[in-house]
């Protein structure tokens, strides 16, 4: 469920564009006006605003925003304004130069978007970078993460609800054997994680839990700091309980010395109009602090106001 509040009666697109253009004029920029418009329009509405703005003022809205805004606030507004598939293509491209941290971003995009959305990201990547995302991932990333990430990003999983219980049972046993033998790169383990539908995989992991007595992620903590195992656990969480994964990313971004604004912005802008309501619930359940309070405590100014507007905080 989305946390983006869209007014019951919104101004015309032309009016929105005019207001945005006004916000850029004169001595200072009117950040509050920008937030009051963009943070309260859905992806389809933002797309039309961007098209109409370009047609009216002869400049890409993103470019105008880029000129007027700065720092974390700028990044949050720019990413939010982008079409979701273009945004993911850009995040994936940036992730290539970020080592282990980037691997999570790639896994997150591959595993928490719907199969069709992931394909749109691949199309947007073509259009923007003149290469395929798997081409760049396979070229830039080495080691055991390479194969896993390429297979995750290129998957077009079946997304129906049908589940084969016999298969779930037998593949749970395969997974158990792999983790018992510490064969974390076993090709059947990789095959199951990278090709099965999310519904089928959830059934398999439930069988695993029943057979073994604990969730697979516990067994994948054999060496808690091994980056490959950490990535595997993130993949499984992204595929089966994305709200828990994102709540944890937010917790880690906030509860550290110096906020990780990059992760905070990424999760808020990519999930606000998807499942931020569930993420907020999960965050509160796990941390006993409401997410908006946590964000307010760690951010300030227009950046804070933008994030709070997107997650549907009271002063939004």
Closest Cα partner for 110 from 162, 159, 150?
A: 150
Map the footprint of a second copy across residues 51-80, applying CB under 8 A.
Answer: none
Q: Is 103 in the site for a second copy (CB under 8 A)?
A: no
Instruction: Give how many residues touch a second copy by CB under 8 A.
Output: 29
Among 19, 195, 202, 209, binds a second copy (CB under 8 A): 195
Q: What is the chain's alpha carbon radius of gyration, rounded to the nearest angstrom?
A: 21
Among 2, 30, 52, 132, binds a second copy (CB under 8 A): 132
Q: Is 183 in the site for a second copy (CB under 8 A)?
A: no
Q: Is 113 in the site for a second copy (CB under 8 A)?
A: no
Q: Is 185 in the site for a second copy (CB under 8 A)?
A: no
Interface region with a second copy, contact rule CB under 8 A, candidates 50-58, 97-105, 142-150, 250-258: 142-150
175-184, Cβ contacts within 8 angstroms, sequence gap of 24 or more: 175/204, 175/205, 175/208, 175/216, 176/208, 176/211, 176/212, 179/216, 179/219, 179/220, 180/219, 182/222, 184/220, 184/228, 184/229, 184/232
d(CA 125, CA 87): 10
Task: Find the shortest distance in angstroms from Cβ 95 to a second copy.
Answer: 17
Among 187, 210, 223, 226, binds a second copy (CB under 8 A): 187
Binding mask 144-173 for a second copy (x = CB under 8 A): --xx--xx--xxxxxxx-x-----------
Q: Is 228 in the site for a second copy (CB under 8 A)?
A: no
Residue whose CB is less far from a second copy, 62 or 151: 151
Kindly list the residues in this chain that would bind a second copy in the complex (CB under 8 A).
Answer: 119, 122-123, 126, 130-132, 134-135, 138-139, 146-147, 150-151, 154-160, 162, 187, 191, 194-197
């Amino acid at each position: 469920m989305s946390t983006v509040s869209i007014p019951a009666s919104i101004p015309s697109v032309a009016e929105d564009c005019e207001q945005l253009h006004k916000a850029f004029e004169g001595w200072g920029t009117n950040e509050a006006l920008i937030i009051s418009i963009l943070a309260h329009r859905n992806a389809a509405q933002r797309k039309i605003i961007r098209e109409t703005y370009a047609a009216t003022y002869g400049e890409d809205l993103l470019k105008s925003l880029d000129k007027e805004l700065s720092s974390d606030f700028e990044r949050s507004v720019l990413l939010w304004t982008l079409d979701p598939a273009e945004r993911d293509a850009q995040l994936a491209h940036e992730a290539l130069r970020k080592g282990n941290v980037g691997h999570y971003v790639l896994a997150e995009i591959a595993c928490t978007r719907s199969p069709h959305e992931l394909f749109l990201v691949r199309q947007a990547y073509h259009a923007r970078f003149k290469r395929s995302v798997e081409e760049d991932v396979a070229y830039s990333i080495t080691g055991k993460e390479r194969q896993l990430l390429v297979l995750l990003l290129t998957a077009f999983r079946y997304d129906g609800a049908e589940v084969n219980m016999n298969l779930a049972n037998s593949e749970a046993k395969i997974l158990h054997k792999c983790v018992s033998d510490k064969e974390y790169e076993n090709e059947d383990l990789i095959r199951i994680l990278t090709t099965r539908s999310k519904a089928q995989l959830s059934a398999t992991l439930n069988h695993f839990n029943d057979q073994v007595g604990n969730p697979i992620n516990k067994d994948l903590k054999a060496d808690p700091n091994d980056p490959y195992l950490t990535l595997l656990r993130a993949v499984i969480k992204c595929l089966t309980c994305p709200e828990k994964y994102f709540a944890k990313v937010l917790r880690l971004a906030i509860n550290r010395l110096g906020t990780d604004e990059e992760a905070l912005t990424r999760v808020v802008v990519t999930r606000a109009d998807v499942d931020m309501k569930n993420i907020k619930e999960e965050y509160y359940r796990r941390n006993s602090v409401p997410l908006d309070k946590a964000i307010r405590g760690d951010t300030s100014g227009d950046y804070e106001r933008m994030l709070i507007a997107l997650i549907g905080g009271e002063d939004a």
